[in-house]
Chains A and B, each alone.
Chain A
Amino acid sequence: MKPLRGTFDSRSAKALADPSLQQALRNFKPLFVAKRAAAVAELPDFERLRDTAAAIKDAVLSELDVWLERYAEKVESLGGKVHFARDAAEAREIIREICRKAGARTVCKGKSMVSEEIGLNEALEEDGYRVVETDLGEYIIQLAKEPPSHIIAPAIHKTREQVADLFEKNHPGRPREESVAGLVNEARHALRERFFESDVGITGGNFLIAETGTSVIVTNEGNGDLTQTLSRVHVVTSGIERVLPTLDDLSVFLRLLARSATGQDTECYTTLSSGPKRPGDPDGPEEYHVVLVDNGRSKMLSGRFRDMLRCIRCGACMNHCPVYGAVGGHAYGWVYPGPMGSILTPLFNGLAENYDLPNACTLNGRCQAVCPVRIPLTELIRTMRNEQVKAGLMPASQRRMMAAWGWVARQPGLYRALERLGSRMLRLRAGRSGALSSLPGASAWTDARDLPAPQGPTFIDQWNARGGDQ
């Protein structure tokens, strides 16, 4: 998809002023956090599994060429075809060509973040195909003509009433449904025919197994399975970093993924696909293609952001992020929101164009504490900020302020005098309430909450008064 217009600043201001988005965010947040915590508590091995998963990914990344080659050879020995796409444009072209050759009319899709990353829907629609998203969340936002706002719950920003409005408008001749059960049922009926008329079915690939030449998807709805089973051609889109050596390695990741993502012990459906339909098979696709997408990943492999390639796209980081929880996913402007997006988006789409993202973070570290593959997200975000400064991207006003602060901080006498003065003035201004409801130059803080005034002498003065070591 194309990056959204505006900056993080402007988009988050809009998000904060959107009452139905705020309602949706209030509903979702505690659910994901509590369900994950409960699911993790039931598995004593969880922490060891995290270590193991991170170590498996590191080992695979250090020989990624070898594992990809083994995987590709195995897929082709089963009659599948592996395509290699250096960037988004190549990936789109490969899939357009597959659809052309298949003489396709309807293209059904299971949820695939890589297909969002490469802007696949727009390209296929331009070619005149009927492109149908079949994951309920993706279907909802496709009707709303909006991008996903969460990687595993793409329509998390929509309230039930908004979904009811969309369905009423897009399913003519059906009575308006208001209940969750009614809406889910309505989507089931609407999509059923699409599955059966689908020519090309496109899914993601959560994992690729070198041992067996297998692609793996996990879903709760079964939409990915209907998509890939009923279409004549199955296309798997996947990033190159998704390959694992064996089925036993897969088990380590499956134990982590559902618990981290939705707080389930397992998703409803885990499907392992190996090649096209075989002689004697009553159903399944006649063609099986895997499109391996680099799109900047091999560059990450050699740089300071390699750890990010361990990501299994579970969404735990955004579920636990206070900034995401306040503004939702659209504020991040592209396919990948939240902490993982604050690293991936600048890497994919440019440090300058996405200056705000790594800076819209409080470095509280909750994301890193829950990441199933132990990606040091806050460290990577800090590294990203350093890279931005090194590239001269920090705005002049910020640079001047940092320079002024740096100069003062190097004059201890002056620094302490200013600190005392500032502390006293804030106390005076706050008066007896002890808090400031407005402060010139700091309205971004005080508009939303009071600033507590300093309560007494500065830290250094107290330290000296108590005879602390110099």
Chain B
Amino acid sequence: MHKVFIVIPAYKEENSISSVIKGLKKEGYKDIVVVDDCSPDSTSKKAEDAGAIVLKHIINRGQGASLRTGTDYALRHGAEIIVHFDADGQHNPKEIKDIIKPIIAGKADAALGSRFLGKRSNVPFTKKIVLKLGIMFTFIFSGVWLTDTHNGFRALSRDAAKRIEITQDRMAHASEIIDQIRKKRIRYTEVPVTITYTSYSIEKGQSAMNSIRIAARLIWSKYIR
């Protein structure tokens, strides 16, 4: 049995975090790391009560920073596979076994979830356009053609998790991870996953306007700085 760590970055997720952790426990995952990014609500307490390991950022540093905090913790505690999972309930815990399968089989070191492969997700129209633009942007920016580039559901082998260094503290980390996978020649594969859109997860997601800011941020870090 591989030691699988589930890393969940959470900010103001008191409404969903308990059920997400319970869902993961039901699937038999024990090493659940919630990184509370200085939420002003009771996210930490809810996560702790639900039985997760809770790491607290003493000041808000963003989702990318939280992911890396959780990943670092997992690596220090002997994780063999690290799964990045969302706190808002849009990922399905039953699909973790699918996403870690290529890593267990030794076929890839990074398995990236895709909502546009096989399985049907009820992606809202505007969201779909933004995501498709994101795919094109990633192709131009990193030279990788993926079917879904901005999906927070991914699994990394210990080796890949060590090599990928997330420096984008805010939302640009998703593109940054792909960029590093390409640059560091990490073997990757895409795995079909479903994303459940609820009014809650849509509200907590990224707006179209924000995507432009994220793109500008990436270009700045890669070429100008």
Task: Indicate, yes or no, whether A interacts with B.
Answer: no
